[in-house]
């Protein structure tokens, strides 16, 4: 293993070459995929896609902001399993891929219990990386545009390191995700784990809670309320 030499980008270990079996039809059609936070807004759409692609899917969720309702069409399906589980506790399952989404995304919910939000991001991500290392799974973390904080550069390139307040009321989320990203890269460099990070920007759509305080839903909800208040009927 390469020794620390001041070069922050120095790779300690090359990522493992996946076995050619990974690309075989048998492996692809029997692939088991863990989705943490799969009962939430984005997670449940991801589960739909994976199930439609005939994967075996395991969802682990503590239902803090998610709901079984989002997954009801898959409950009882032979390729689908649902576990009530908090990612701040270790989880031992045999899987080939991990999509790690578990974390409240709305400011109302992530500020409700900031210490828990940090634990979810840091301990939760450590637990999932520990699992990925143990079973040799590829892992994806859903990070956020909030890692750029109050950015001084627009639009933000991936190479931009951000402008983040480490002690503010949103820091539990912003800094939590930044540490989660750091852990992902350290596990990759130190243990050769195959990783992916998606920095998601504001997303909206079906199954989103209209009052959960995110910018796009706030804007739409306010516009709808104004229309109701004005008793506005659009022309057909
Ligand atoms: N929606 C967006 O615009 C957006 C933007 C940037 C990043 N993201 C990221 O995408 C992911 C999903 O976001 P979302 O919008 O679907 O949010 P969401 O709140 O709808 O879903 C989060 C899910 O994680 C679960 N969860 C929370 N804490 C948990 C814990 N400790 N253990 C197990 N499960 C837990 C919740 O019950 C819920 O089902 C999050 O990681 C979020 O940070 C979302």
| CA distance linking residue 182 with residue 161, whole number of Å | 12
Q: Is the CB of 47 under 6 A from ligand 1?
A: no
Q: Is the CB of 165 under 6 A from ligand 1?
A: no
pLDDT the model gives residue 15: 61
Residue 156 scores a pLDDT above 70: yes
- Which of 35, 38, 39, 40 is the pocket-test mutation for ligand 1 (most atoms within 8 Å of CB)? 40
Q: Is the CB of 62 under 6 A from ligand 1?
A: yes
pLDDT band at 16 (very low <50, low <70, confident <90, very high): low
Active site residue 173: yes
| CA distance linking residue 214 with residue 197, whole number of Å | 22
Q: Which domains does the chain have, with CATH numbers?
A: 20-201 (3.40.50.720), 209-236 (no CATH)
**pLDDT 10s digits, 207-222:** 988 777 888 888 888 8
User: How remote is the CA of residue 96 from the centroid of ligand 1, in Å?
Assistant: 21
User: How remote is the CA of residue 199 from the centroid of ligand 1, in Å?
Assistant: 13
**pLDDT 10s digits, 92-145:** 999 999 999 999 999 999 999 999 999 999 999 999 999 999 999 999 999 999
**pLDDT 10s digits, 51-104:** 999 999 999 999 999 999 999 999 999 999 999 999 999 999 999 999 999 999
Residue 4 scores a pLDDT above 80: no
Mean pLDDT across 143-154: 97
Mean pLDDT of the chain: 90
**What is the full DSSP assignment across 148-194?**
GBS-SSSSPPTT---B--TTSTTHHHHHHHHHHHHHHHHHHHHH---
Q: Whose CA is nearest to atom 7 of ligand 1?
A: 144
| CA distance linking residue 51 with residue 221, whole number of Å | 31
- Which of 46, 48, 65 is the pocket-test mutation for ligand 1 (most atoms within 8 Å of CB)? 65
> Per the residue annotation, which of 160, 173, 204, 232 is the catalytic one?
173
């Amino acid at each position: 293993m390469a020794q620390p030499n001041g070069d922050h980008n120095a790779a300690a270990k090359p990522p493992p070459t996946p076995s050619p079996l990974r690309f075989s039809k048998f492996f692809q059609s029997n692939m088991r995929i863990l989705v943490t936070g799969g009962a939430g807004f984005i997670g449940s759409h991801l589960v739909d896609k994976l199930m439609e692609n005939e994967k075996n899917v395991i969802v682990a969720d503590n239902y803090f902001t998610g709901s079984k309702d989002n997954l009801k069409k898959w409950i009882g399906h032979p390729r689908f399993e649902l576990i009530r589980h908090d990612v701040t506790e270790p989880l031992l399952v045999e899987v080939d891929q991990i999509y790690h989404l578990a974390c409240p995304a709305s400011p109302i919910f992530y500020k409700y219990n900031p210490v828990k939000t940090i634990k979810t991001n840091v301990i939760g991500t450590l637990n999932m990386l520990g699992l990925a290392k143990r079973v040799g799974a590829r892992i994806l973390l859903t990070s956020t545009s909030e890692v750029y904080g109050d950015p001084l550069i627009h639009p933000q390139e991936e190479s931009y390191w951000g402008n983040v307040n480490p002690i503010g009321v949103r820091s539990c989320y912003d800094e939590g995700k930044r540490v989660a990203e750091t852990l992902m890269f350290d596990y990759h460099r130190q243990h050769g784990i195959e990783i992916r990070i998606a920095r998601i920007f504001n997303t909206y759509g079906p199954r989103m809670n209209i009052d959960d305080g995110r910018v796009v839903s706030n804007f739409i909800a306010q516009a709808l309320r104004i229309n109701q208040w004005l008793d506005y009927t659009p022309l057909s």
